[in-house]
A and B are shown apart, each in its own frame.
Chain A
């Protein structure tokens, strides 16, 4: 057994050497631009990574069919990081070995943060579709498509205070093991306390990494607090679990979620009657009549969620920046020029009309609030 493993080791080193030598060439072809990204394709967050990959691939194929970016055809690569930081780092390095020149970064905030250091060093343009924690784009060459956690929490609190004026008592339930959830909760609370339009009567939490959870305790607490609205800065699978488990206890309470709710209508065997009148703050609503939704459905046989829309916009943002700077990959200051161009473009994308702040990398766009009726999203007037 042990001698066999020694042979195996020798083989592995051989492989490694081969891999090293074969990918030693970068991309020097001025008619090809290599764009790469990482995200969870396996594991519990897999649906997000898959959506990002699919949305981006759709955009890449469309652009290539229409002549490419500034005459360059896109070669797109996407690696699995299982939403783990260590894997994100090695996936990023693997992509760089394969000649990546522009990146759509990582799908999850933690992974994007993990690759920030080499991204800064490499200086390549990073436009992440969905990494939303504040510090995950803390680099001069990093930008994002989605709202950051602070902005979302504040927008949610503002919306409830300004537009849902009959709500005076609000309860919050959040996930202690998710920085997305905690970030949203903190900024929501801060804004709510500043505006003072409603009172937070209950704040309860759970740990989503603790295994399939039962929420009886949290639901009982929310019930006895007399809350009229439950703010749920969560991802859709836990949100649905809570809503369905609470269906007999919390009658008449309004549910309010953020962009993590997207995908809730796509759960297998979902009971949409439980989701009547759920309000969601989101940048994207799948409009049956839009070309993007139609093409996505035709290709992947499912409705795109906002992760897919974000990724689609990310690729188009890169296209806009490269065309604005009017450069080819072989140009001397390719990276610096397209990064600078990000501050000058306006993208009318699937997730809204946006421009970017060059210093922070944040997008400037307006969120919309949708409500679910009869199992469909309807935009509420903003």
Chain B
């Protein structure tokens, strides 16, 4: 038994020696692998209902959204309320591109990666545009400004029309117009449906890998330092401006990627969907999963997307439950007065106390000769 433990420890130490990939991360990747295999197996066995199948890509989108928002909210410690806006930008730019080139670039393997790049980069650019004014702002102001940006993006998208419709002839000889393009409030119609679960999952893994590695690197330590004590961080020579903007851009980029997946998964999506409420839903996922915990974001995204679907009878109470959850989670996790309660309820403490009890009993059995 001890031999296996040794081998395991040696392997782990080798992999995590550089410090960029931690043991925690390996568990996360393992979990992702298990989920992937489980889904594929269920699918091939025909166990997945149509409902669950239609949820596969959206859940991946929300995982990416939650992990990218966690970078800003959990690690940088700033409340960004306009995340849905980046989703919108990624979705609209990439789908318009896909529609425009769908006759010239017919291969999905070329077109979709290009769409991903376009969606991600456009969103990233907007992340830069938004990051610049909020540089000197903190806390409440930053929250409102990001919310304002989200609303501006939504309003502007509602008023833009990019008509890329094609006219084709039907089998009976009549002319038919296939509506394609962005029609303001009516939304974007009939983009090529290029998103698949496998592609989406690969993107999830890439996102998690990149953000986990970032968080464990010098950059990650810098932004958590900024979160915990901005003035001390600045005094230690960390460039606040650079790190803040970088975080916004990276966070926006991945939200844009999620947007590309989202846009190529629906035949119609309207700008009004990407509002303040959607940003709050993503925030709830991040808070529920634990701010600063990537694995938590993944699990929470899956739970908060699948559970409401399975519990459709209670959809009336969904937003009410979320709001209560948000308040309770914040109170339990952050209220200084409840620190004692937190310590008592923590699983780690429960495990340790059980371990202690077991050890005590063993020492008593051995005649009380062991040292602790």
Q: A contacts B directly in the complex (CB < 8 Å)?
A: yes
Asked if A97 and B49 sit within 8 Å, CB to CB, the answer is: yes
What is the predominant secondary structure among interface residues of chain A facing chain B?
Answer: helix
A114 within 8 A of B: yes
Binds A, one of B4-12, B135-143, B240-248, B297-305: B297-305
Asked if residues B49 and A20 are in contact (CB atoms below 8 Å), the reply is yes
A9 at the interface (CB under 8 A from B): yes
Once the chains bind, are A84 and B184 in contact (CB under 8 Å)? no
Closest to B165 in A: A135
* Chain B residues whose C-beta falls within 8 Å of the C-beta of A89 in the assembled complex: 54, 266
Chain B residues with CB under 8 Å of A2's CB are 289-290, 293, 295-296, 299
Question: Is B48 an interface residue when CB atoms closer than 8 A count as contact?
Answer: yes
CB distance from B368 to the nearest CB of A (A): 34
Could you say which residues of chain B place their CB within 8 Å of the CB of A91? 312
Q: Given A20, A114, A133, A207, which contacts B47 in the complex, CB threshold below 8 Å?
A: A20
* A270 CB–B CB distance under 8 Å: no
B272 touches A209 (CB 8 A): yes
Judge if B341 is at the interface, Cβ distance under 8 Å.
no
Please name all residues of chain B whose beta carbon is closer than 8 Å to the beta carbon of A135 when the two chains form the complex.
179, 189
In the assembled complex, A80 has its CB within 8 A of some CB on chain B: yes
Chain B residues, Cβ within 8 Å of A178: 185
**Per-position contact with B for A58-97: 1 when CB-CB < 8 Å, else 0?**
0000000000000000000001101011100111011011
For B300, list chain A residues within 8 Å (CB): 5
> Is residue B86 contacting chain A, with contact meaning CB distance below 8 A?
no
Beyond A5-B299, A80-B315, A178-B185, is A20–B48 a contact (Cβ under 8 Å)?
yes
Residues of B within 8 A of A96 (CB): 50
B214 within 8 A of A: no
Q: Write out the residue numbers on chain A whose beta carbons fall within 8 Å of the beta carbon of B58.
A: 86, 90
Stretch of A11-19, A302-310, A312-320 lying at the B interface: A11-19
Interface size on B, residues (CB 8 A): 56
- Binary CB contact string for chain B from 285 to 324 against chain A (1 if under 8 A, 0 otherwise): 0001110010110011011001101101001100000000
A residues 77-124 near B (Cβ < 8 Å) are 79-80, 82, 84-86, 89-91, 93-94, 96-97, 110, 113-114, 116-117
Report the Cα distance A3→B272, complex, angstroms: 36
Say yes or no: B185 contacts A93, CB within 8 Å. Answer: no
B273–A84 contact, CB under 8 A?
yes
> Which residues of A sit under 8 angstroms from B187, Cβ to Cβ?
85, 110, 179
A: interface residue count bin: 35 or more
Residue in B155, B179, B268, B296 whose Cβ sees the most chain A Cβ within 10 Å: B268
Choose from A1, A15, A359 the contact partner of B310 (Cβ within 8 Å).
A15
Please tell me if the beta carbons of B52 and A86 are within 8 angstroms of each other in the complex: no
Contacting residues, chain A, for B51 (C-beta < 8 A): 90, 93-94, 97
User: B270 at interface (Cβ–Cβ under 8 A)?
Assistant: yes
Q: Which residues does chain B contribute within 8 Å of A8, judged by CB atoms?
A: 299, 303
Q: Does A214 contact B (CB under 8 A)?
A: no
B186 within 8 A of A: yes
Expressed in whole angstroms, the Cα–Cα distance for A19 and B51 within the complex equals 10
Contacts of B184 in A (CB 8 A): 176, 182
Inter-subunit contact A12/B306 (CB<8 Å): yes
Task: Tell whether, in the assembled complex, residue A12 and residue B307 are in contact, meaning their CB atoms are under 8 Å apart.
Answer: yes
Bound complex: CA of A361 vs CA of B53, how far in Å? 30
Bound-complex Cα distance A133 to B186 (A) = 10
Complex CA gap A207/B271 in Å reads: 12
Are A210 and B185 CB-contacts (below 8 A) given A5-B296, A79-B312, A97-B51? no
User: A6: CB under 8 A from chain B?
Assistant: yes
- Kindly state whether residue A21 has any CB partner on chain B within 8 Å: yes
A217 located at the interface, meaning its Cβ lies under 8 Å from any Cβ of chain B in the complex: no
Q: Are A176 and B273 in contact (CB under 8 A)?
A: no
Tell me the chain B residues, 145-175 only, with Cβ under 8 Å from chain A.
154-155, 158-159, 172, 174
**Sorted from nearest, which 8 A-B pairs have the closest CB atoms?**
A179-B186, A93-B50, A94-B51, A177-B185, A97-B49, A93-B51, A5-B299, A93-B54
Enumerate 25 A-B pairs (CB-CB under 8 Å) in ascending A order: A4-B347, A5-B296, A9-B299, A12-B307, A15-B310, A20-B42, A20-B47, A42-B315, A79-B312, A82-B315, A85-B187, A85-B269, A85-B270, A85-B273, A90-B55, A90-B309, A93-B51, A97-B50, A97-B51, A116-B267, A177-B271, A179-B183, A182-B184, A182-B185, A182-B186
* A residues lining the B interface (CB < 8 Å): 1-6, 8-9, 12-13, 15-17, 19-21, 23-24, 41-42, 79-80, 82, 84-86, 89-91, 93-94, 96-97, 110, 113-114, 116-117, 133, 135, 176-179, 182, 207, 209-210, 359
